[in-house]
């Protein structure tokens, strides 16, 4: 099979990327942590702070999730709280774009979102793992309605421009064939005596039975065209009704082609803890969470407030700021304590009198870039033609991901999908493009998975996180070395100032990190406030 | 470890059931087909029948999915159509029970459903696979709103009374440990040279890289407590926020204990084609589909009509029936042709002048039994306490399944879950119990997974399919031998009568089988009607 051989030879280059990801725990820990994968929750309920010292006040900088959690709980404990927020909306990176929204990125490029009513994209977080108890708890308390977010769709596509000559494969086929062939190989080794040392004879018998069932092997422990394998990887002709209803089984891909395609690299993504089912999303867009917090906090939040300077003394903290609608007019806010949730990428540019350990930590942690592109199409061809309802297709092209909406199935009319979710060096290149170029790239690359793109594309919008005002990056990109050197210093109180946010957590990128960080920070703040004798 | 050893010894009995399921393709095909697993769709759009012969008429028996699909398409093609339905509602086995519903089973036991407003259970089908294009197409045409149905929940429980001393395990842990240990064993065999023959050296290198990533192995190809494994199986202490945010890794279960637990037997269930993500459900209950068809067909359907006799002659077919509200008064309906969708379990008891091949087929196919129990609790403790949102927990106890609602997450107030989905001999035993006993069994057995059952149980309702009037069984239990002998005869026209329904398909139990069977049957009916010269 000449084509197969060619595919094998060329796809080895692609494979190196995947082997790199999987090549050793240290590298992997770093890579995964950077991608926000290493993130569960230790949330065990909101801490009972008890009453605040009489008259005590807190200045919260930033009305993202961390800032709003801190403000809400401190207010409820009796603190006087003021929040300064750069944007004209609550949520920070928790953000939803809809038709009619205008967005101007750093550099000045402005996009007007042309989505149809009810359509949206979440440029920031877009899913809620079931074990992120903190943020889910706030959804419950604040009345945010949740629905399912589909991560793994067996009918979605896996694509590499070289593997299988660029023809996308169904996830189910790659998954079934990889597992089946692994099971067959292990069954062969077991029966050949290769496991006689590590596995008892009795356990070998059970192992074989389990491999047969789990790997869809036949009675001879072979993974071959039959009912068992077709009922995992799909049929050539599906079972049907009436006299001609019998199915036709399909043939697995050759083991060497499965291995060399590298597409197995996408299989474990839904098994990483933060991507494991069940995942959820707020109905109507992730900013439902932000708006719920915003409603609750009311005019405790001052929007359009750009912090220019943060200065503490023995008695309190003063932030100087200007209204972004009236630049040049300096105003100030003062309180006994300050919870600063401004992303480090921004905070590093704001004068603040903290000691060297915290200052070094703030400047040490880089922020990862990422680009998301929302594409609106005239119809849900991915459902109508391709039978893909929600979930994610993956490609080794720079766009990385095509995320289909997990809601509104079979709705007529225009619909939006996530047309790109770009990481790493690819994100740097997307960052350098104009918004229109990013959208064009998403349409071109995505069209290799879905030829319908050509006829059905309507409009798009692109958010490149290094160009988002007030964020200048996606999330704090910790490494093990950085953690060791700076994490404790970043989290420790400096006088009357404490930092909070996903960057001050082991759950980078996730709202849950912001929640846990904020709750930890205010717990310590409260202890200090009490210890300082209740001074107002 | 005495306890572990004891567990190993005793769980071997449990294991035999699983090995039995996996032990050979023929057995497996039969078992899986019986459970309705072997069922995809060949639906490629509704057949264009073209205009009916002038004045041609069809009598449809049964207003389940097959009958209503047939009636709808035949009516649209211009046939005069009348449908006779036993129940006082459309849908047949597509059925939803809500608070206020009264249900009397064969034998006379009556249950009044005490569910709270908005709560429901689907005693029949409860999920729609994404590849069941036929029924999904009707949902679209008839405006049935769909939402996600969660099948696999990594945080759900796997339970066996003996394994792990009866302590339920999280699905994620069993899955991660089984896959990790399989990967470790295969990596060991590969590196030990056991695969030198079947796998080239180059491919072995890729295989090892893939096993490392897929199986969450460390750099030495070991599956052990570390970031990689914990990020699949869960942490002992989750990552968190602030200074103490570092996670604590968890320790995998011993390989022999994983194998001997038998709990690996539940892992592939979400990988069988009909259970693969994405699955859907109609918002508010499965009967939304039935009611949409019913609305469309209006008074073409005569409800409460019990068919007593089916008689064909050279010119047409006459069904004699009585109104179940006025038994003893015989009425009749007549048409040129008859599409009979009455379940074989019932049809076998109705006199009908068909030839021996069809008559033999009708009486040859047994109907499987199954019991579903809906349990209402005072609160969603499975979400609040156990963080299980939707999906299924499995137990080797007779109840088999606990299915959590895939919708209404975090809603306050009472909520209903599927407390039992009983099969096989266990279903026979449940069938023999009173409804109250079935509910009590579900509460007792389910309480071993969720101790909260004791305090939170409110009320329940139980449907045992062999006692459902008008169905007397769950679905046609084909075997390969039965198919060979009777399937063609069951599907073939006998004079002016053709059968349709899930029993006349290779998709037993599924609505999709009913759709495909009906469309196939009416296509052949139309050809015959045209060939017969348009005789009315």
Tell me if A66 sits within 8 A of A73, measured CB to CB. Answer: no
Amino acid A47: pLDDT: 81
Sheet containing B457-464: which strands, arranged edge to edge? B169-170, B157-159, B391-395, B401-404, B415-423, B370-377, B457-464
Is the pLDDT at A518 greater than 50, yes or no?
A: yes
Same domain, B429 and B338: no
Domain-embedded: residue A162: no
Cis peptide before B278 (omega within 30 of 0): yes
- The angle at the Cα of B159, spanning B153 to B163, to the nearest 5 degrees, equals 135
Tell me if B429 sits within 8 A of B462, measured CB to CB. Answer: no
Amino acid B43: pLDDT: 65
**Residues recorded for chain B:** 536
Question: Which residue among A25, A259, A278 sits closest to B389, beta carbon to beta carbon?
Answer: A278
Backbone angles phi, psi at A448, to 5 degrees: -75, -20
Same domain, B189 and B138: no
Amino acid A235: pLDDT: 96
Q: Quote the strand ranges of B313-469, DSSP E.
A: 317-323, 330-335, 337-340, 370-377, 391-395, 401-404, 415-423, 457-464
Comparing CA positions, the residue from B433, B503, B516, B394 lying closest to residue B36 is: B503
Is the pLDDT at B11 greater than 90, yes or no?
A: no
Contacts of A298 (CB under 8 A, 6+ apart): none
Structural Rg of chain B based on CA atoms: 26
Is the pLDDT at A385 greater than 60, yes or no?
A: yes
- Please give the model's pTM, rounded to 2 decimal places: 0.93
Same domain, B526 and B506: yes
* Percent of chain A whose predicted confidence (pLDDT) is above 90: 89
Same domain, A114 and A79: no
Amino acid A41: pLDDT: 55
Contact A28 B240 (CB under 8 A): no
Give chain B positions within 8 Å (CB) of A219. Answer: 23-26
Domain-embedded: residue B48: no
Is the pLDDT at B377 greater than 90, yes or no?
A: yes
Number of structural domains, chain A? 4
User: Half-sphere exposure (CA, 13 Å, Cβ side) for B297?
Assistant: 33
ipTM of the complex: 0.92
Same domain, A374 and A440: yes
Amino acid A164: pLDDT: 96
Comparing CA positions, the residue from A471, A390, A468 lying closest to residue A430 is: A468
Question: Which residue among A133, A148, A520 sits closest to B242, beta carbon to beta carbon?
Answer: A520
CATH code for position B199: 1.20.1440.240
Give chain A positions within 8 Å (CB) of B232. Answer: 268, 271-273
Each residue's pLDDT tens digit, B75-110: 999 999 999 999 999 999 999 999 999 999 999 999
Each residue's pLDDT tens digit, B131-183: 999 999 999 999 999 999 999 999 999 999 999 999 999 999 999 999 999 99
Report the distance separating Cα B338 and Cα B329, nearest Å: 22
Cis peptide before A278 (omega within 30 of 0): yes
Each residue's pLDDT tens digit, A437-492: 999 999 999 999 999 999 999 999 999 999 999 999 999 999 999 999 999 999 99
Q: Give the end of a domain, one of A467, A493, A509.
A: A467
Tell me if B49 sits within 8 A of B522, measured CB to CB. Answer: yes
Interval B252-261 mean pLDDT: 96
Amino acid A43: pLDDT: 65
Same domain, B489 and B432: no
Q: Which residues is A112 bridged to in the sheet?
A: A102
Say what the alpha-carbon torsion angle B264, B266, B267, B269 is, to the nearest 10 degrees: 150
Domain-embedded: residue B332: yes
Report the distance separating Cα B407 and Cα B425, nearest Å: 32
**d(CA B40, nearest CA chain A) in Å:** 5
SS3 content of chain A, % helix, strand, coil (to 5): 40, 20, 40
Each residue's pLDDT tens digit, B430-451: 999 999 999 999 999 999 999 9
Same domain, A219 and A342: no
Same domain, B459 and B378: yes
More confident residue, A3 or A443: A443
Domain-embedded: residue A77: yes
Tell me if B268 sits within 8 A of A69, measured CB to CB. Answer: no
CATH code for position A148: 3.90.660.10
Contact A276 B154 (CB under 8 A): yes
Contacts of A455 (CB under 8 A, 6+ apart): A378
Contacts of B10 (CB under 8 A, 6+ apart): B162
Same domain, A419 and A486: no
Structure tokens at A25: 């725990």
Phi-psi region at B345: left, alpha or beta (left = phi > 0; alpha = psi -120 to 50): alpha
Contact B241 A519 (CB under 8 A): yes
Give the three-state DSSP class for A360: helix
Closest chain A residue to B229, measured at CA: A272
Closest chain B residue to A206, measured at CA: B259
CATH code for position B348: 3.50.50.60
Contact B23 A219 (CB under 8 A): yes
Is the pLDDT at A169 greater than 90, yes or no?
A: yes
Domain-embedded: residue A103: yes
Give chain A positions within 8 Å (CB) of B518. Answer: 241
Q: At what angle do helices B2-22 and B25-34 cross, to 10 degrees?
A: 90
Domain-embedded: residue B267: no
Is the pLDDT at B20 greater than 80, yes or no?
A: no
Contact A516 B242 (CB under 8 A): yes
Backbone angles phi, psi at A518, to 5 degrees: -65, -45
Domain-embedded: residue B199: yes
Same domain, A175 and A234: yes
Amino acid A50: pLDDT: 83
For residue A237, what are the domain limits? 170-261
Domain-embedded: residue B330: yes
Structural Rg of chain A based on CA atoms: 26
Closest chain B residue to A149, measured at CA: B148
Closest chain A residue to B26, measured at CA: A219
Amino acid B253: pLDDT: 97
Same domain, A348 and A490: yes
Is the pLDDT at B18 greater than 90, yes or no?
A: no
Same domain, A360 and A374: no
Tell me if A342 sits within 8 A of A350, measured CB to CB. Answer: yes
Structure tokens at B200: 């080239």
Q: Work out whether strand A279-282 and strand A128-129 pair parallel, antiparallel, or are unpaired.
A: antiparallel
Contacts of B492 (CB under 8 A, 6+ apart): A243, B357, B358, B498
Question: Which helix or strand (DSSP H or E) is residue B111 part of?
Answer: strand B110-112
Other C-beta atoms lying within 10 Å of the C-beta of residue B338: 27
Amino acid A48: pLDDT: 82
State the alpha helices, DSSP H only, in A298-374: 344-347, 356-364
Count of CB contacts below 8 A, A vs B?
A: 370
């Amino acid at each position: 099979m000449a084509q197969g051989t060619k595919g094998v030879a060329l796809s080895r280059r692609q494979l190196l990327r995947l082997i790199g990801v999987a090549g050793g725990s240290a590298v992997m820990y770093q890579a995964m942590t950077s991608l926000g994968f290493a993130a569960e929750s230790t949330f065990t309920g909101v801490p009972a702070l008890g009453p605040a010292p009489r008259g005590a006040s807190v200045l919260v900088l930033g009305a993202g999730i961390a800032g709003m959690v801190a403000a809400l709980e401190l207010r409820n404990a009796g603190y006087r709280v003021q929040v300064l927020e750069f944007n004209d909306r609550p949520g920070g990176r928790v953000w939803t774009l809809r038709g009619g929204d205008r967005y101007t990125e750093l550099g000045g490029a402005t996009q007007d979102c042309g989505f149809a009513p009810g359509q949206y994209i979440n440029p920031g977080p877009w899913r809620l793992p079931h074990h992120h108890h903190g943020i889910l708890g706030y959804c419950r308390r604040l009345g945010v309605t949740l629905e399912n977010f589909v991560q793994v769709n067996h009918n979605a596509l896996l694509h590499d421009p070289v593997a299988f000559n660029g023809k996308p494969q169904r996830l189910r086929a790659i998954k079934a064939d990889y597992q089946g062939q692994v099971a067959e190989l292990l069954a062969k080794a077991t029966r050949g005596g290769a496991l006689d040392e590590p596995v008892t004879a009795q356990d070998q018998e059970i192992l074989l039975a389990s491999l047969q069932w789990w790997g869809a092997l036949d009675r001879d422990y072979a993974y071959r065209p039959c009912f068992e394998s077709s009922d995992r990887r799909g049929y050539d002709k599906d079972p049907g009704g009436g006299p001609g209803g019998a199915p036709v089984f399909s043939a697995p891909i050759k083991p060497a082609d499965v291995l060399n395609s590298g597409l197995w690299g996408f299989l474990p993504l839904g098994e990483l803890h933060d991507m494991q089912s069940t995942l959820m999303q707020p109905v109507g867009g992730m900013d439902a969470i932000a708006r719920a917090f915003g409603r609750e906090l009311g005019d405790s939040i001052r929007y359009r407030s750009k912090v220019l300077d943060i200065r503490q003394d023995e008695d309190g903290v003063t932030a100087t700021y200007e209204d972004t609608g009236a630049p040049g007019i300096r105003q100030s806010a003062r309180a006994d304590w300050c919870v600063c949730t401004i992303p480090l990428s921004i905070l590093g540019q704001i004068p603040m009198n903290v000691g060297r350990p915290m200052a070094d930590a703030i400047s040490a942690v880089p922020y990862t870039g990422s680009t998301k592109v929302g594409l609106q199409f005239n119809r849900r061809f991915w459902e109508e033609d391709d039978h893909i309802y929600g979930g994610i297709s993956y490609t080794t092209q720079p766009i990385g991901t095509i995320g289909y909406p997990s809601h509104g199935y079979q709705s007529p009319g225009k619909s939006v999908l996530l047309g790109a979710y770009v990481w790493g060096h690819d994100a740097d290149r997307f960052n350098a493009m104009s918004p229109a170029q990013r959208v064009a790239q998403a349409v071109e690359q995505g069209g290799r998975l879905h030829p319908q793109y050509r006829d059905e594309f309507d409009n798009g919008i692109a958010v490149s996180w290094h160009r988002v005002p007030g964020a200048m990056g996606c999330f704090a990109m910790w490494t093990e070395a950085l953690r060791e050197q700076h994490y404790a210093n970043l989290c420790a109180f400096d006088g009357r100032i404490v930092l909070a946010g996903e960057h001050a957590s082991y759950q980078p990128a996730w709202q849950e990190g912001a929640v846990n960080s904020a709750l930890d920070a205010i717990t310590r703040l409260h202890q200090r406030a009490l210890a300082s004798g209740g001074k107002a």
